[in-house]
Each structure stands twice: as C-alpha cells, then as structure tokens.
C-alpha cells in the first residue's frame, strides 16, 4: 500500500460498543511518546479508529506525556509518521500536558475535599505497606498541611517536596491493590519536552487518564485487559472529581512468540547495537515490520480480524504473515535470482541471443512486463544441476525445453557444467523440472538477507531475563545474481523471486541490491528450542 492509502475493511465480527450512538462516539489512542510504535500499539490505534468511524464519531490522538524522563520529541514525530503510514487519521490531536494546569487545580480540589494526602514515606516502605494493606503514617495529615506541602514544596520541588508524593485516599486495605491509595502526583526535575521546566511535579497515569478522558469528551476508553484491576480506580477518580463518567472497554493485548513488545526492552536492543535502530527488520515496530514487507492492508486485516477478543494469546507470526501473503501475492512482480556460490553454466545449442518482453505476473497482466534475455550461455543453480540426468528434458522457465546432452562433474560429484540443445517443440507439461535461469551476460549482483527472531524462547515467563535468551545469529546474508529488470525497483517494492519466495528491496550496498525475505507464513524458525 501507498503512504496514507486507506481501504475499507469489513470486520468479520459484529461488536457493539455499549451505549454507543451514531455520531456520538469519541475514542482515543493515547501513546506515550517514549518509543516507536509497535504492532501492539498498531492494534490499539486501528481498533480505536475502527470504532470511531464505524459509529461516525471522532478519534483523538493523545500524546500521554506526563513522564519527562522517558519522553522525547523524536518519538512524537515518529508516532505521527507511523500513524499516517497506517492510514490512521485522527480527528484531533492533543497532549496530556495541555491539562497540567487543570490537573493541578483538580488535585487541590481533591486535597480540600479530604480525598488526597501528601506522603513522605520512603518508597520501599510505601510499597511494602501497600502490599500488606497498612495505613500510611501520613494518611491523616490535615487539609492545611497537605495544601502547604503540595503547593509550596512539591510544586517547587524543594528538598521537602522531593521527599513527598500525593496519594489518593481511597482504601488502603482494599482487596483490589490498585485501590490502596495510589500515587497521583510526583516530583520530577527533568525538563519536559513540551512544557520545559514550568512544572517540577507531574500527574501519574492513574490520575491523568480518567481526567483527560472525561474532559476531552471521550465516550469509550479502550484499554488493554491487564488494566482491568485499575478500572475501579479509574471510575473512583472521576466520581471523586465530579467528572463525567467514561465507559471503559477492555480488549486483549496482542503478544507474539519470541517477541518483546516493551519499549524499554526494545530500547535495550537499540542501545546494545543488537539491531540497527527502531526500524530494524527484526523489530516488531511498525517500521520494522513494514521494512520486512508487511503491507498496511495486511496489518489492518489482521487487527480487524483479531477484533474484540479478550483472551491474551501468544500469537505465531506465521498468522499475520500468511494474511499478508494474500495481499502481496496477486500483485508482486515475478523475478529471478540464483545463489552465486553455486552457479553452473549451461550451454544451449540452437539458442541465439535475443530479448523479449514477458509478463511479470502470469495471472495479473496489470503488473506489466519485463525483459527476458535469451542466450546460448545461461546459468542455473548447482542444487538444480545436481538433479539432472543425462538425456533428461528439462524446462527453463519463461523460455522452453532443453534436452541435456552432456554433464561434467568434478571428483566430488558437483556439477561443473552442462550442455544441451534447445527443444522448443517440447511440451513443458511433460517435464518434471521447471528451472530458474539467467543469461550469463545479462544479470546483476544482489544480496538476499533473511532474519531470525531476536530471542530463542517462545514465551518469556515472569522470572525470565530476556538477556539470557538472545538468539546467537539473527541475520543471514547470501550473495546472488538477479535479472536486470531489478534495477527498476524502488526501495520498499515487494517482489517474488520465482521458486524462492517474497522479497522486499531494502537498500543498495557496494552496487548490490539488498533484498530482505518477506515471511510468507510458512517459514520455520531457524533455531528451535
Ligand atoms: P510499552 O510497555 O511498550 O511502553 P505501553 O502500553 O506502556 O507499552 P503506551 O504508549 O502507553 O505504551 O500505549 C499506547 C496504547 O497502546 C495503550 O492504549 C496501550 O494499551 C496500547 N498497547 C500497548 N501495547 C499493546 C499490545 N501489546 N497490544 C495491544 N495494545 C497495546
Ligand atoms: Mg502506557
Ligand atoms: Mg509502558
């Protein structure tokens, strides 16, 4: 698909958002600008957009920028570009940081109503108290004392302010641990990428999201299911602040085997140079999978077909790539490449030098034509040559039959060269070998690169350290030659090399076109456990 291109996909499910009315639904996609979008984010973005438009409502793109330590302008820019690439257009773009004044006021209101308190309990102790359902020694501070600390100490990040955080006074013994007086404001001296050093304390996710959702008119907040325990807290916040309630709709997080979808862990691979960057073809980022040959249509189809499932599953990549293959196969031009290490010369009596236009796709004339160079001297792969018997009749694809008259082998049995005679009257349906070949003169150097998953374990468990499961080799390069028509391809074009599979042109190195294998859903893992 082209940039920004959008197709309408009919979902194979019917879901009704509870209480949704045509023209009134407002959804939001709230990425934190702390990394590049990955396939999980793409799912969230596409689903939000799907519902907004299904109900002729509105989609808000909201940068959830409340933690300056992790956030950067670079990430914001990349998120905008990636959404555009996915054909997702938000009706409105906002930033949580726009509401810092408003959230500050609301925090003061909460303190005044006795629903929040400042706490300087050391972090470790606070964590332990929350685990054990114990009351903080600071829970009964007076409103005046709380206001004093929040407005004069925390706001200015004084030494005293830095020791404190603001906590919602909900229920320190609640069975649902997320309700045990969560932190709603904390100091941070790192300058914010949008508000600079105006603020020295920031609302937490738990405080910010219910407020901004309500203020922005969101009707349905789609959240991944692992936040379900936090739904009670979300509702509590809106009630405590007398804000319009928002309906929370949970959907399953998507996970893939042998894949990390945490921005923090992906950052580790970038920092350690295990990958080239966030757009590395081994990465599950939108950019990474696009570079690997995932089409926008393939990705959207996948997300919509996954739809409303609430079961968190560990998906096999083959599912999404098989779907992508259905998108690329009808339009991918067919080309030829042969692995360089194993080339065998075939001399063909009766052949002369000529060039002809042939369809790039036998079933789809719209794909156009390519030049096929014929010659008495052609090359085939050793792997094919080794199977040929004396006097066998074979078929050269896009050409015709050849009867093999001579086979020269070395002492190890490897074929050195072949000779044959052209037999165009021969019936290609009667031969068992349809071989790819190239004119010995008209071909160009290419490189074929395949990749493996970055980690060796299908599903990392809670106690696992991903650094213990790094795949030793994840890139595999082969030198090859290809037909001259490849010169006309552009970066990002997806083709099929006959009898090899689908490839995407990535870049050129030392005059060689470098193609990456596009997984087709049938590939097997190189490393099994
Ligand atoms: P990470 O752990 O990589 O930082 P995150 O959830 O913290 O992910 P956000 O930028 O906050 O990243 O996510 C934006 C939206 O994308 C959220 O609504 C979140 O629920 C959703 N999302 C993130 N990961 C997945 C996933 N694996 N599957 C589905 N949705 C996801
Ligand atoms: Mg998040
Ligand atoms: Mg996160």
Asked if residue 308 has pLDDT above 80, the reply is no
Q: What is the per-residue pLDDT for 7? A: 43
- Give the mean pLDDT of the chain: 93
Asked if residue 524 has pLDDT above 70, the reply is no
Our answer on whether the CB atom of 41 is closer than 6 Å to any ligand 1 atom is: yes
Q: What is the per-residue pLDDT for 411? A: 94
Helices (H), 167-258: 205-215, 231-240
Q: DSSP characters for 394-422?
A: EEETTTEEEEEEEEEE-TTS-EEEEEEEE
Q: What is the per-residue pLDDT for 227? A: 82
What mean pLDDT comes out for the span 160-168?
98
Our answer on whether the CB atom of 43 is closer than 6 Å to any ligand 1 atom is: yes
Beta strand ranges found along 107-235 (DSSP E):
116-119, 165-168, 183-187, 201-203, 220-224
Asked if residue 145 has pLDDT above 80, the reply is yes
Asked if residue 122 has pLDDT above 70, the reply is yes
Our answer on whether the CB atom of 253 is closer than 6 Å to any ligand 1 atom is: yes
Nearest CA to ligand 1 atom 7: 32
What mean pLDDT comes out for the span 274-285?
96
For the stretch 344-374, pLDDT in tens is: 999 999 999 999 999 999 999 999 999 999 9
Q: Determine contact, residues 297/7, Cβ cutoff 8 Å.
A: yes
Q: Which ligand is nearest to the CA of 40?
A: 1
Our answer on whether the CB atom of 62 is closer than 6 Å to any ligand 1 atom is: no
Q: What is the per-residue pLDDT for 525? A: 52
Token match 């007398």: residue?
A: 242
DSSP code for 455: B
Q: Determine contact, residues 336/410, Cβ cutoff 8 Å.
A: no
Strand partners, 168: 116
Which atom number of ligand 1 is nearest to the Cα of residue 33? Answer: 10
Pocket test for ligand 1, best of 38, 41, 253, 284 (most atoms within 8 A of CB): 41
Strand partners, 478: 448
Ligand 2 centroid, distance to 174 Cα (angstroms): 24
DSSP code for 454: S
Dihedral of CA 326/330/331/336: which sign?
positive
Strands 354-359 and 369-374: antiparallel
Q: Determine contact, residues 192/97, Cβ cutoff 8 Å.
A: yes
Cα 265–Cα 269–Cα 272 angle in degrees, nearest 5: 125
pLDDT band for position 14 (cuts 50, 70, 90): low
For the stretch 89-110, pLDDT in tens is: 999 999 999 999 999 999 999 9
Q: How far is CA 203 from the centre of its chain?
A: 29
Buried b (16+ CB within 10 A) or exposed e, 287-309: bbbbbbbbbbbbbbbbbbebbee
Q: What is the per-residue pLDDT for 220? A: 96
439 three-state secondary structure: strand
Q: What is the per-residue pLDDT for 21? A: 87
Share of the chain above pLDDT 70, in %: 96
Strand partners, 220: 247
Our answer on whether the CB atom of 521 is closer than 6 Å to any ligand 1 atom is: no
The reported pTM is 0.88
DSSP code for 331: T
Q: What is the per-residue pLDDT for 499? A: 96
Q: What is the per-residue pLDDT for 1? A: 36
Asked if residue 528 has pLDDT above 80, the reply is no
For the stretch 401-459, pLDDT in tens is: 999 999 999 999 999 999 999 999 999 999 999 999 999 999 999 999 999 999 999 99
**Considering just the CA atoms, what is the radius of gyration of the chain in Å?**
30
Neighbours of 493 (CB within 10 A): 15
Residues 6+ apart with CB under 8 A from 173: 133, 180
Ligand 1 centroid, distance to 31 Cα (angstroms): 7
Neighbours of 130 (CB within 10 A): 19
Asked if residue 467 has pLDDT above 50, the reply is yes
For the stretch 379-400, pLDDT in tens is: 999 999 999 999 999 999 999 9
Nearest CA to ligand 1 atom 4: 263
Catalytic site positions: 32, 253, 263
| CA distance to 402, 431, 448, per residue, from 488 (Å) | 30, 33, 17
E strand or H helix that includes residue 426: none
Q: Which ligand is nearest to the CA of 309?
A: 1
Strand partners, 192: 196
339 three-state secondary structure: strand
Share of the chain above pLDDT 90, in %: 87
Token match 């399953």: residue?
A: 252
Our answer on whether the CB atom of 262 is closer than 6 Å to any ligand 1 atom is: yes
Q: Which residue has the higher pLDDT, 4 or 179?
A: 179
Ligand 2 centroid, distance to 31 Cα (angstroms): 7
Q: What is the per-residue pLDDT for 342? A: 80
Token match 């939108």: residue?
A: 286
Q: What is the per-residue pLDDT for 364? A: 97
Ligand 2 centroid, distance to 34 Cα (angstroms): 9
Sorted by where each starts, the structural domains of the chain and their CATH numbers stand as 26-96+207-324 (3.40.50.620), 100-203 (3.90.800.10), 339-442 (2.40.240.10), 445-518 (2.40.240.10)
Our answer on whether the CB atom of 289 is closer than 6 Å to any ligand 1 atom is: no
Q: How far is CA 135 from the centre of its chain?
A: 43
Structure tokens at 462: 């809670």
Q: What is the per-residue pLDDT for 10? A: 47
d(C-alpha 13, C-alpha 308), whole Å: 8
Our answer on whether the CB atom of 263 is closer than 6 Å to any ligand 1 atom is: yes
What mean pLDDT comes out for the span 59-67?
97
Q: What is the per-residue pLDDT for 307? A: 72
Nearest CA to ligand 1 atom 24: 40
Q: Which ligand is nearest to the CA of 32?
A: 1
Q: How far is CA 125 from the centre of its chain?
A: 39
pLDDT band for position 226 (cuts 50, 70, 90): confident
Q: Which ligand is nearest to the CA of 33?
A: 1
Strands 334-335 and 393-396: unpaired
Nearest CA to ligand 1 atom 20: 224
Q: What is the per-residue pLDDT for 449? A: 97
What mean pLDDT comes out for the span 64-80?
94
């Amino acid at each position: 698909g082209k940039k920004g291109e959008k197709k309408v996909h009919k979902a194979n499910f019917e879901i009704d958002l509870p209480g949704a009315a045509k023209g009134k639904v407002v959804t939001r996609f709230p990425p934190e600008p702390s990394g590049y979008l990955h396939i999980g984010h793409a799912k969230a973005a596409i689903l939000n957009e799907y519902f907004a438009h299904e109900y002729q409502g509105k989609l808000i793109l909201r940068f959830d920028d409340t933690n300056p330590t992790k956030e950067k302008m670079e990430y914001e820019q990349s998120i905008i570009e990636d959404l555009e690439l996915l054909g997702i257009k938000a009706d409105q773009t906002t930033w949580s940081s726009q509401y810092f004044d408003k959230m500050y006021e609301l925090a003061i209101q909460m303190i005044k109503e006795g629903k929040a308190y400042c706490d300087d309990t050391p972090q470790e102790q606070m964590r332990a108290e929350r685990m054990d359902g114990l009351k903080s020694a600071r829970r009964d501070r007076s409103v005046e004392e709380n206001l004093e600390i929040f407005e004069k100490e925390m706001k200015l990040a004084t030494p005293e302010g830095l020791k404190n955080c603001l906590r919602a006074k909900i229920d320190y013994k609640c069975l649902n641990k997320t309700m045990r007086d969560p932190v709603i404001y904390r100091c941070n001296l790192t300058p914010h990428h949008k508000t600079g050093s105006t603020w020295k304390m920031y609302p937490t996710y738990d405080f910010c999201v219910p407020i901004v959702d309500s203020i922005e008119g969101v009707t349905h907040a789609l959240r991944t299911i692992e936040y379900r325990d936090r739904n009670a807290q979300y509702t509590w916040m809106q009630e405590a602040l007398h804000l319009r309630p928002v309906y929370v709709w949970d959907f399953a997080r998507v996970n893939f085997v042998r894949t990390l979808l945490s921005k923090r862990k992906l950052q580790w691979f970038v920092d350690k140079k295990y990958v080239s960057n966030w757009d590395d073809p081994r990465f599950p980022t939108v950019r990474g999978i696009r570079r690997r040959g995932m089409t926008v249509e393939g990705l959207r189809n996948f997300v919509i077909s996954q739809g409303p499932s609430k079961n968190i599953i560990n998906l096999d990549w083959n599912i999404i790539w098989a779907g992508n293959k259905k998108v690329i196969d009808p339009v991918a031009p067919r080309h030829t490449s042969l692995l360089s290490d194993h080339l065998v010369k075939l001399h063909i009596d009766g052949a002369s030098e000529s060039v002809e236009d042939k369809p790039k796709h036998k079933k789809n004339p719209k794909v156009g034509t390519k030049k096929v160079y014929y010659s008495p001297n052609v090359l085939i792969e050793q792997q094919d040559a080794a199977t040929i018997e004396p006097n066998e009749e074979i078929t050269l694809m896009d050409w015709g039959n050849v009867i093999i008259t001579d086979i020269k082998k070395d002492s190890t049995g490897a074929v050195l060269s072949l000779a044959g005679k052209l037999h165009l009257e021969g019936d290609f349906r009667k031969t068992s070998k349809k071989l790819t070949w190239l004119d010995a003169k008209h071909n160009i150097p290419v490189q074929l690169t395949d990749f493996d998953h970055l980690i060796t374990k299908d599903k990392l468990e809670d106690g696992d350290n991903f650094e213990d499961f790094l795949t030793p080799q994840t890139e595999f390069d082969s030198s090859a030659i290809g037909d001259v028509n490849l010169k006309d391809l552009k970066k990002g074009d997806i083709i099929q090399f006959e009898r090899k599979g689908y490839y995407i042109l990535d870049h050129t190195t030392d005059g060689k076109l470098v193609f990456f294998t596009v997984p087709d859903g049938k590939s097997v893992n190189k490393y099994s456990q």
